Amino acid sequence: MKYLVAGLGNIGEEYQDTRHNIGFMILDALARASNISFSDMRYGSVAEYRYKGRIFVLLKPSTYVNLSGKAVNYWMQKESIEISNLLVLIDELALPFGTLRLRPRGGDGGHNGLTSVIQVLGTQEFARLRFGVGGDFPYGLQIEYVLGKWSENEVRELPDKITTCHDIIRSFGTAGVEKTMNTFNSRG
Residues with a known catalytic role: 20
Q: Quote the CA–CA distance of 114 and 72 in Å, as a whole number.
A: 11
CA–chain centroid gap for 95, Å, is 15
Which residue type does 53 have? G
What distance in Å separates the CA atoms of residue 12 and residue 22, rounded to the nearest whole number? 14
d(CA 164, CA 108): 23
Distance (Å, whole) CA 4 – CA 11? 19
N-terminal to C-terminal alpha carbon distance within the chain: 30
